[in-house]
Structure 1
Amino acid sequence: MESLLLGSEVQSVAMLALLLVGAALLLDDLLDPKNSWHRAGLFAVAALLTLRYLWWRATETLAPIGLSWDCLFSWSFFLSEAAAGLSSLSAFAILSRTGARSQEADRNLAWWEPDPPKVAILIATYNEHRDVLERTIVGAKASHHPNCDVLVLDDGRRDWLRDFCRGQQVRYLRRTDNLGSKAGNINHALGVLASDPHPPDFVAVLDADFVPHADFVSRALALFHAPDVGLVQTPQHFFNPDPIQHNLGLSRSYPDEQRFFFDHLQPSRDAWGIAFCCGTSSIVRWRAVQAVGGFPTESVTEDFMMTLVLQEAGWRTVYLNEALTEGLAPEGLKEYVTQRARWCLGLMQIARSRVGPLAESRLRLRDRWSVVDSVLFWLTSFSFRIACMIFPLLYWFFNVTIVEASLADVVFYFVPYYFWVLFALNFVSSGLIVPIVNDVSQLLGAIPITRAAVVGLIRPKGHPFSVTAKGGDRTKVVIQWRMMMPFLILLSLTALGLLLGIAFDSFAFTDAGDGKYVILFWTIYNLLILSVAITVCVELPRVEQHLADHPERCIILADGRLKRIWLTDLTEGTARIRGVQLLPGAAVELKIRDIGDMKAFVLETTGDGAILSLELDEHQYEALLRRLYTQGAVPSVTSTRLSAVLGEALSRLERR
Structure 2
Amino acid sequence: MSSPRWLTPHAGHWLRLRHRWLRRRGASRLGATGLTLAWLLAWTLLPLERANWQMVMAHGRALFPHMTHPRAGDPLRALLQVVWLLICRPEPRPFQWPASWRRAWQRGTRSLSALLRKPEEVGIEVEQKAPRTARWHSVLLCVVAGLLALLCITQPFDLEQQLVFVLLLAAMAWVLRAVPGRYPMLMMMVLSLTVSCRYIWWRYTSTLDWLDPMSLFCGMLLLFAETYAWVVLILGYWQTAWPLHRPPAPLPDDPATWPSVDLMIPTYNEDLAIVKGTVYAALAQDWPRDKLTVWLLDDGGREEFRQFAEGAGIRYVARPTHEHAKAGNINHALKLAQGELVAIFDCDHLPTRSFLQMTVGWFFKDPALGLVQTPHHFFSADPFERNLQRFRKMPNEGALFYGLVQDGNDMWDATFFCGSCAVIKRTALNEIGGIAVETVTEDAHTSLRLHRLGYTSAYIRIPQAAGLATESLSAHIGQRIRWARGMVQILRLDNPLFGKGINLGQRLCYFNAMLHFLSGIPRLIFLTAPLAFLILHAYIIYAPAAAIALYMLPHIFHCAITNSRLQGKVRHSFWGEVYETVLAWYIARPTTVALFAPHKGTFNVTAKGGLTEEVYLDLGVSRPYLVLILLNLIGLGFGIWRIGYGLEDEVPTVLLSMLWTLYNLTILGGALAVAFESRQVRTNPRVEMSMTAAIKLASGHIYPCTLKDYSNGGVGLQLATALTLQEKDSVWLLLRHGQREVAFPAKVQRAFGHKLGLELDPMDKDQHIAFIQCTFARADTWSLWQTRLGRDRPLHSLLDISLLGWRAYWRLLRDSPLGGICIVAERLGRWLLSFVPRRVSPDFRYQAPTSETVKG
Determine if the TM-score, normalized by the shorter chain, exceeds 0.5.
yes
> Which residue of 1 is the match for residue 339 of structure 2?
200
CA distance in 1, matches of 2:687, 2:607: 26
Residue 111 of structure 1: how far off its partner (Å) = 7.1
> Which residue of 1 is the match for residue 658 of structure 2?
520
Contact 1:406 1:518 in 2 (8 A): no
Q: 1:548 to 1:283 in 2, by over 3 A?
A: closer
Contact 1:404 1:515 in 2 (8 A): no
Residue 306 of structure 1: how far off its partner (Å) = 1.2
Q: 1:76 to 1:115 in 2, by over 3 A?
A: same
Q: 1:41 to 1:506 in 2, by over 3 A?
A: closer
> Which residue of 1 is the match for residue 308 of structure 2?
164
CA distance in 1, matches of 2:234, 2:398: 20
Q: Name the aligned partner's letter for residue 770 of structure 2.
A: A
Residue 521 of structure 1: how far off its partner (Å) = 1.1
Please give the secondary structure, in 2, of the residue aligned with 1:612.
Answer: strand
2:409 matches 1:269: yes
2:490 matches 1:374: no
| Counterpart pick for 1:215 among 335, 341, 354 | 354
Please give the secondary structure, in 1, of the residue aligned with 2:690.
Answer: coil
Q: Name the aligned partner's letter for residue 566 of structure 2.
A: V
- Gap regions ≥5 residues in structure 2: 1-158, 812-856
> Which residue of 1 is the match for residue 222 of structure 2?
77
Residue 602 of structure 1: how far off its partner (Å) = 3.7
2:318 matches 1:180: no
> Which residue of 2 is the match for residue 119 of structure 1?
261
Q: Name the aligned partner's letter for residue 623 of structure 1.
A: A
Residue 523 of structure 1: how far off its partner (Å) = 0.9
Matches for 1:622-641 after TM superposition, within 5 Å: 622-631=769-778, 632-634=780-782, 636-637=785-786, 639-641=789-791
CA distance in 1, matches of 2:743, 2:798: 42
Q: 1:296 to 1:566 in 2, by over 3 A?
A: closer
Q: Deviations over 1:545-581 (max 9, x none)?
A: 5454636553353788654444433222123334536
Q: 1:552 to 1:479 in 2, by over 3 A?
A: farther
> Which residue of 2 is the match for residue 487 of structure 1?
625
> Which residue of 2 is the match for residue 555 of structure 1?
695
Matches for 1:21-100 after TM superposition, within 5 Å: 23=172, 26-32=175-181, 35=182, 37-62=183-208, 64-100=209-245
- Gap regions ≥5 residues in structure 1: 1-8, 194-198
Please give the secondary structure, in 2, of the residue aligned with 1:448.
Answer: helix
Residue 176 of structure 1: how far off its partner (Å) = 0.9
> Which residue of 1 is the match for residue 363 of structure 2?
224
Contact 1:212 1:630 in 2 (8 A): yes
Contact 2:262 2:343 in 1 (8 A): yes
> Which residue of 1 is the match for residue 610 of structure 2?
472
| Counterpart pick for 1:349 among 489, 505, 517 | 489
Residue 419 of structure 1: how far off its partner (Å) = 2.4
Residue 349 of structure 1: how far off its partner (Å) = 1.3
| Counterpart pick for 1:334 among 468, 474, 485 | 474
CA distance in 2, matches of 1:584, 1:646: 47
Residue 280 of structure 1: how far off its partner (Å) = 0.6
CA distance in 1, matches of 2:726, 2:612: 25
Please give the secondary structure, in 1, of the residue aligned with 2:786.
Answer: coil
CA distance in 1, matches of 2:664, 2:692: 45
Q: 1:341 to 1:640 in 2, by over 3 A?
A: farther
Please give the secondary structure, in 1, of the residue aligned with 2:717.
Answer: strand
> Which residue of 1 is the match for residue 445 of structure 2?
305
Contact 2:693 2:733 in 1 (8 A): no
Q: Name the aligned partner's letter for residue 243 of structure 2.
A: T
Please give the secondary structure, in 1, of the residue aligned with 2:561.
Answer: helix
Contact 1:203 1:286 in 2 (8 A): yes
Contact 1:397 1:507 in 2 (8 A): no
Contact 1:253 1:648 in 2 (8 A): no
Q: 1:60 to 1:237 in 2, by over 3 A?
A: same
CA distance in 2, matches of 1:311, 1:119: 22
Q: 1:378 to 1:528 in 2, by over 3 A?
A: same
Q: Name the aligned partner's letter for residue 520 of structure 1.
A: M
Contact 1:263 1:321 in 2 (8 A): yes
Q: Deviations over 1:382-407 (max 9, x none)?
A: 32221111222233332223234444
> Which residue of 1 is the match for residue 49 of structure 2?
none
Q: Name the aligned partner's letter for residue 100 of structure 1.
A: H
Q: 1:114 to 1:626 in 2, by over 3 A?
A: closer
| Counterpart pick for 1:601 among 716, 741, 747 | 747
2:535 matches 1:391: no
Q: 1:145 to 1:648 in 2, by over 3 A?
A: farther
Please give the secondary structure, in 1, of the residue aligned with 2:295.
Answer: strand
CA distance in 1, matches of 2:662, 2:699: 61
> Which residue of 2 is the match for residue 246 of structure 1?
386
Please give the secondary structure, in 2, of the residue aligned with 1:192.
Answer: coil
Residue 358 of structure 1: how far off its partner (Å) = 5.6
Q: Deviations over 1:51-76 (max 9, x none)?
A: 112112223333x1135211110111
Q: 1:576 to 1:633 in 2, by over 3 A?
A: closer
Contact 1:396 1:508 in 2 (8 A): no
> Which residue of 2 is the match for residue 259 of structure 1?
399
Please give the secondary structure, in 2, of the residue aligned with 1:550.
Answer: strand
> Which residue of 2 is the match for residue 153 of structure 1?
297
| Counterpart pick for 2:433 among 288, 293, 312 | 293
CA distance in 1, matches of 2:360, 2:711: 31
2:557 matches 1:419: yes
> Which residue of 2 is the match for residue 4 of structure 1?
none
| Counterpart pick for 1:434 among 556, 562, 572 | 572
Q: Name the aligned partner's letter for residue 391 of structure 2.
A: S
Contact 1:255 1:432 in 2 (8 A): yes
CA distance in 2, matches of 1:13, 1:611: 62
**Greater RCO between the two (CA within 8 Å, min separation 6)?**
1
Q: Deviations over 1:220-272 (max 9, x none)?
A: 11111211111111111111122111111111221111111111111111111
> Which residue of 1 is the match for residue 270 of structure 2?
128
CA distance in 2, matches of 1:142, 1:336: 30
Q: Name the aligned partner's letter for residue 203 of structure 1.
A: V
Q: Percent identity?
A: 28
Residue 18 of structure 1: how far off its partner (Å) = 11
Please give the secondary structure, in 1, of the residue aligned with 2:602.
Answer: coil
Contact 1:600 1:615 in 2 (8 A): yes
Contact 1:256 1:636 in 2 (8 A): no
Q: Name the aligned partner's letter for residue 761 of structure 2.
A: E
Q: Deviations over 1:384-438 (max 9, x none)?
A: 2211112222333322232344443344222332222222222233443333422
CA distance in 1, matches of 2:433, 2:347: 24
Q: Deviations over 1:181-224 (max 9, x none)?
A: 1111111011112xxxxx21111111111111111112111111
Contact 1:501 1:509 in 2 (8 A): no
Q: Deviations over 1:24-70 (max 9, x none)?
A: 564244332xx4x45433322222221112112223333x1135211
> Which residue of 2 is the match for residue 5 of structure 1?
none
Larger Rg: 2
Q: 1:470 to 1:418 in 2, by over 3 A?
A: same
Residue 158 of structure 1: how far off its partner (Å) = 0.9
Q: Name the aligned partner's letter for residue 635 of structure 2.
A: G
Higher alpha-carbon deviation: 576-585 or 148-157: 576-585
CA distance in 2, matches of 1:564, 1:18: 61
Higher alpha-carbon deviation: 225-234 or 38-47: 38-47
| Counterpart pick for 1:317 among 427, 449, 457 | 457
Q: Name the aligned partner's letter for residue 139 of structure 1.
A: A
Q: Deviations over 1:65-123 (max 9, x none)?
A: 13521111011111111122112111111222221220xx34x3237754221000011
- CA RMSD, aligned part only? 3.1
